Amino acid sequence: MATNIVTGVAGFIGSHLAETLLNQGERVIGIDQFNDYYDPMLKRKNVASLENYPAFQLVEGDIQQLDWTTLLQDVDVIYHQAAQAGVRASWGAGFRSYTERNINATQVLLEAAKDAKQLKRLVFASTSSIYGNAEMMPTAETVCPQPVSPYGITKLAAERLCWLYYYNFNVPVTSLRYFTVYGPRQRPDMAFHKFFKAALQDEAIGIYGDGQQTRDFTFVEDAIAANLAAATAPEAIGEIFNIGGGSRVVLTEVLDTMDQIVGKPIRRNHIEQAMGDARHTSADVSKAKRLLGYAPRVSLKEGLAREWEWIRSLY
């Protein structure tokens, strides 16, 4: 029975990942500080079901303050999902929490990982935000990163730290660049969650800019499958992978699909474009297909329907 650490275990992706590992009969040490970037009650809800598994242990605390030597003693895989997320909140006074939680926390974890004798893999959750307005679509991992948000800058710095520890200390890292993950438990500051909640409460939603921006949307189950593959594929060590949903969609088309799912038009209110948002994102996932056997399985329509069911049960 393998032992895994999942940081950010109470979060959107972390909680799904921990649940999947526990269902496969593995041990999970979940780490989360339950900060108030969004309602901690939602995070408590995310981990509530995990607490029923005897193989689950919750460690509450700040990554920078924990006793990593003890925690990592028998750990095979670290899934580092914890981060300060959100592009738009990363400007101004909020920036310090991004440097602390994305860069400094990752450095502390890597420093401990280099002395963890049993560690077979450290999977780092990265983001498409590091590409910014990429020069080519779909975007391959070899494209030069040009973040357009402070958030993207901190995630790129953390990813580069991973490579330093790989090259200098043989820490077995691999990095997954997520493209707009959605699905049940999605964070309340993310678009689909906000849109569905507004539809449920019969409010208008704010659309940034003209609504013609495109995104590569990835269903959470597909992102989880990518993590599990990245933790076991021997050729994943020292590599970066794009994890996308396999199709690039215009925002207005997504809204039309949501209208169908909800059964009525969602009222739209156009507001000015947000600072730090990339205009288009599109993942070239051929490398992940080749080395990880990654193949996104959930269509946008099916994924959105599943998120809508969850939103209705939540509110």
CATH number at residue 34: 3.40.50.720
Q: Is 10 inside any structural domain? A: yes
In 3D, which of 220, 241, 218 has the Cα closest to residue 291?
Answer: 241
Q: How many Å separate Cα 99 from the centre of its chain?
A: 17
Q: Which two tokens stand for residue 189?
A: 């500051």
Classified as helix, coil or strand, 280 is: strand
Q: Is 9 exposed, middle or buried (0-12, 13-18, 19+ CB in 10 A)?
A: buried
Amino acid at 170: N
> Could you give the CA distance from residue 174 to residue 165 in angstroms, rounded to a whole number?
11
Number of compact structural domains in the chain? 1
Ordered strands of the 240-243 beta sheet:
56-60, 27-32, 3-7, 77-80, 121-127, 173-178, 240-243
Supply the mean pLDDT for the chain. 97
Q: Is 259 inside any structural domain? A: no
Contact 306, 184 (CB under 8 A): yes
- Give the CA radius of gyration of the chain: 19
CA dihedral 83, 241, 252, 277 (to 10 degrees): 50
Q: Is 85 inside any structural domain? A: yes
Q: Is 264 inside any structural domain? A: no
Segments forming the whole domain that contains residue 66: 3-178+220-244+282-297
- Of 151, 166, 178, 182, the active-site residue reads 151
Ranges under pLDDT 50 in the chain: none
> Could you give the CA distance from residue 263 to residue 43 in angstroms, rounded to a whole number?
29
Q: Is 138 inside any structural domain? A: yes
Q: Is 144 inside any structural domain? A: yes
The answer to whether the pTM exceeds 0.75 is: yes
> Could you give the CA distance from residue 32 to residue 82 in angstroms, rounded to a whole number?
8
Tell me how far apart the 2 most distant CA atoms of the chain are, in Å: 56
Classified as helix, coil or strand, 124 is: strand
- Indicate if 151 belongs to the active site: yes
How confident is the model at residue 82, as a pLDDT? 98
- DSSP annotation of 234: G
> Could you give the CA distance from residue 64 to residue 45 in angstroms, rounded to a whole number?
24
- One DSSP character per residue, 4-68 reads EEEETTTSHHHHHHHHHHHHTT-EEEEEE---TTS-HHHHHHHHHTGGG-TTEEEEES-GGGS-H
Q: Is 79 inside any structural domain? A: yes
Q: Is 31 inside any structural domain? A: yes
Q: Which two tokens stand for residue 127?
A: 């983001």
3-state SS of the chain: helix, strand, coil percent to 5? 45, 20, 35
